[in-house]
């Protein structure tokens, strides 16, 4: 049973949310190491730019415009990726978005949309591509979730719910498929400095959260190392993982701290 992803030469990778941020950086990094990459996102023009970056250093990329929250589009994109590349060895479920809003002020349509993109998109792509991995006895699934999927912050109800669902899917699935040769890595980032946080989101983040934002390149480094080592879970920055222990042994204290650090006051401090 192979769990460590060391050599990308000849590997075929599909990455959702590949037009910017973490998805783009992972696509570039894996392509540099020899992988052929299927790039998935809604914005075809942005995907083409990433594909050109990859082709510029001799890599191979297939841009696939797709709304990951639409099941039919996902199935069509998955079929196209297999037709173009022959198979998918590594699936990176990265597409997602979030907001920092009070539940009572949050538009219900957007909350439903967030669950479709953040959770159901991962479910759809995994359902489309996992069976072939199991048949081959080899594959890697990477779920880019969030620390919010383990410790729910204030004012992120819809986002936290979608990421809790994603973490549950990945954790349960790992138990089912690891003996079939498919390795599952769940990634739990904290606040990362990417286009995910637009000006509005940054303005609503508490000052302490803005100061603790990490760089996306550092997260990608850690993801690549986690795949080499065959890890099943990665929290980044790593110090955040201490919060899981605190939540288990001192839930009241952890609740007060999370509320203090994530509930925005009127001055945004």
Residue 46 to residue 26: CA distance in whole angstroms:
15
Altogether, the residues listed in the chain come to a count of 269
Question: What string of H, E and C letters represents the secondary structure of 69-105?
Answer: CCHHHHHHHHHHHHHHHCCCCEEEECCCCCCCCCHHH
Q: Which of 110, 101, 95 is nearest to 203 (CA)?
A: 101
The active-site residue, picked from 8, 119, 124, 159, is: 159
| 159 given a catalytic annotation | yes
Query: Residue 216 to residues 20, 24, 71, 265: CA-CA distances in angstroms?
Result: 11, 10, 29, 27
Strand pairing class (60-65; 233-236)? unpaired
Check residue 8 and report its DSSP letter: -
Phi-psi region for residue 17, left (φ > 0), alpha (ψ -120 to 50) or beta? left
Active site residue ranges: 159
């Amino acid at each position: 049973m192979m769990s460590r992803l060391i050599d990308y030469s000849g590997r075929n990778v599909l990455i959702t949310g590949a037009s910017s941020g973490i998805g783009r950086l992972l696509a570039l990094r894996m392509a540099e190491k020899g992988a052929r990459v299927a790039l998935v996102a809604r914005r075809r023009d942005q995907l083409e730019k990433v594909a050109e970056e990859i082709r510029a250093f001799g890599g191979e990329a297939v841009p696939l415009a797709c709304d990951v929250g639409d099941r039919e589009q996902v199935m069509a994109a998955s079929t196209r990726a297999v037709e173009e590349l022959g198979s998918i060895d590594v699936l990176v479920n990265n597409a997602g978005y979030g907001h920092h809003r009070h539940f009572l002020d949050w538009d219900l349509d957007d909350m439903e949309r967030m669950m479709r993109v953040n959770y159901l998109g991962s479910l759809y792509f995994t359902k489309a591509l996992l069976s072939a991995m199991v048949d081959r006895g080899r594959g890697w699934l990477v779920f880019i979730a969030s620390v919010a999927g383990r410790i729910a912050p204030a004012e992120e109800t819809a986002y936290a719910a979608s990421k809790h669902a994603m973490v549950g899917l990945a954790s349960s699935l790992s138990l089912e498929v690891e003996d079939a040769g498919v390795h599952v890595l769940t990634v739990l980032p904290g606040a990362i400095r990417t286009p995910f946080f637009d000006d509005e989101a940054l303005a609503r983040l508490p000052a302490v959260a803005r100061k603790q934002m990490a760089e996306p390149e550092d997260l990608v480094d850690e993801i690549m190392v986690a795949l080499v080592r065959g890890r099943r879970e990665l929290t980044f920055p790593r110090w955040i993982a201490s919060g899981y222990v605190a939540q288990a042994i001192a839930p009241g204290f952890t609740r007060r701290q999370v509320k203090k650090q994530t509930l925005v006051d009127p001055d945004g401090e």
